[in-house]
Amino acid sequence: MIKKVGILTSGGDAPGMNAAIRAVVRTSIYNNLEVYGIYDGYRGLYEGKIERLFRKSVSERLMRGGTFLGTARLPEFSNPEIREVAIENLNEYGIDALVTIGGDGTFRGALALDKMGIKCVGIPGTIDNDINGTDYTIGFDTAMNTVIDAIDKLRDTSSSHRRCSIIEVMGRNCGAIAIWTGIAVGAEYVASKETGFDIDDIVEVIRQASRFKRHAVVIVTENLTNVDELAKIITEKTPFEARATVLGHVQRGGSPTVRDRVLASTMGVKAVEELLKGNSGCCICEVGNKLVAIPFEEALKMEKDDLMDKYRALKVLW
C-alpha cells in the first residue's frame, strides 16, 4: 500500500494544471497519504527540489493559470543514470508513488520511471490536445477560448478595413487548436500539419471570399510557413490587404475555463484513486465523457481521427 505521493508538472504548462495539483493534494490527504510537491518537473526531481504539501498549500490555486510547481525540460531524463538519481531523491523522502502532469514527453519519462519500480500515474496536461488516448487534455479548452477571443477581435477590425487576418496559432505537431477554433470563428481557411499547406488553394479561397465578404480569416499552425510572407502573397494576389498576427504564448496563459477546471479536478481525484487501487504505468484519459486509466504505451500510440471530419465541416461552412 502506498503511503507518500509525489506530484510534478512537466513539459509545456497549461491552464488547469494548478487545479489538477490541488485535486491530487486534497485527494491524497483525504485518503491519509502524505503528499510532496516536486518543483520544475523532472529537473527538480533530479535536483531534489521536493517539499511536503498540505491542504493550505493549494488554497487559491484552482482558478490560476500556469503551474505553481513550475515546469522545466530535462532531455537527459531519458538516460537511466539520471533517473537513478531521481529515484534516490524519492527514496530519501520515502515517496513511493508519483503523479505526473504533462504531455507525451512527460508520459515517456513516467513510463521509464515506472519500469524502474516507481509507481507512476499520468494526467494529460497540454494545450495541444495531442495525446491520442484521451478526448481532451487539460488546457485545450482554455487555449481555444483565448484564441477565439483574439480572432473575434481581429475580425471586428479586419471587416471594418476589408482585410484578411492571418493568425498563427500553436500546434506544430497537432492542428487541433487550429481546426476547432477555425470552426468556432467561421474561418475561411485553416492550414495545419493534418490539412497540409497549399498556397494556390488559399489564394483561390480568399479570392472567392472577397467577392461577397468584407473580411477573411486564415488560421495557420506555427512552423508551417512564414505568416508575414503569406500575408504579402495574399495582398498581392487577392483584393484583400492581409495582416499576420502571431498569438504565441498568450495561448498558454489565463484562468482555466469551467471545462478545464472540472476535467483537471476529476482527473486528479482519479489519479490518486488508481494508485490506491495498486494501478500504475497508466494515464487518466477522458473517453466518451468517462474517465478511464489507460496504460501509457497504449495511450501514446492510439490514433485520434476526429480532426479531418471537423476539417470537412469547416470547408463546407465558410
**Any contact of residue 108 with ligand ADP (CB under 6 A)?**
yes
Residue 65 or residue 109: which is nearer to ligand ADP going by CB?
Answer: 109
Q: What are the Cα distances from residue 171, in Å, to 240, 263, 288, 299?
A: 27, 21, 23, 19
**Any contact of residue 105 with ligand ADP (CB under 6 A)?**
yes
Other beta carbons less than 10 A from residue 80's beta carbon? 11
CA 90 to CA 142: how far, in whole Å?
A: 33
To ligand ADP, the closest distance from the beta carbon of 101 in angstroms equals 9
Dihedral (CA of 90, 91, 94, 100) sign: positive
CA 309 to CA 223: how far, in whole Å?
A: 23
- Considering only 99-107, 171-179, 235-243, 277-285, which stretch makes contact with ligand ADP by CB under 6 A? 99-107
According to CB under 6 A, which one of 8, 74, 143, 206 is a site residue for ligand ADP? 74
Residues 38-67 contacting ligand ADP, CB under 6 A: 42
Name the burial class of residue 235, with classes exposed (0-12), middle (13-18) and buried (19+) by CB atoms within 10 angstroms of its CB.
middle
According to CB under 6 A, which one of 32, 75, 117, 200 is a site residue for ligand ADP? 75
Residue 33 or residue 112: which is nearer to ligand ADP going by CB?
Answer: 112
- Considering only 97-105, 148-156, 256-264, 292-300, which stretch makes contact with ligand ADP by CB under 6 A? 97-105
Residue 20 or residue 231: which is nearer to ligand ADP going by CB?
Answer: 20
**Any contact of residue 103 with ligand ADP (CB under 6 A)?**
yes
Q: State the number of binding residues for ligand ADP (CB under 6 A).
A: 18
To ligand ADP, the closest distance from the beta carbon of 129 in angstroms equals 12
- Considering only 103-111, 153-161, 242-250, 298-306, which stretch makes contact with ligand ADP by CB under 6 A? 103-111
Residues 224-243 contacting ligand ADP, CB under 6 A: none
Residue 199 or residue 300: which is nearer to ligand ADP going by CB?
Answer: 300
**Any contact of residue 77 with ligand ADP (CB under 6 A)?**
yes
Residue 204 or residue 297: which is nearer to ligand ADP going by CB?
Answer: 297
CA 98 to CA 91: how far, in whole Å?
A: 12
CA 122 to CA 120: how far, in whole Å?
A: 7
Q: Which amino acid is at 254?
A: G
**Any contact of residue 87 with ligand ADP (CB under 6 A)?**
no
- For 12-38, b where at least 16 C-beta lie within 10 A, e where not — what string? bbbbbbbbbbbbbbbbbbeeebbbbbb
Q: Of the listed 13, 128, 130, 260, which one is catalytic?
A: 128
Report which of 202, 190, 198, 191 is spatially closest to residue 237, judged by C-alpha positions.
Answer: 202
Residue 130 or residue 188: which is nearer to ligand ADP going by CB?
Answer: 130
| Whether residue 96 lies in the annotated active site | no
Residues at the site binding ligand ADP, with contacts judged by CB under 6 A: 10-12, 42, 73-75, 77-78, 102-106, 108-109, 112, 126
Question: Active-site residue numbers?
Answer: 128
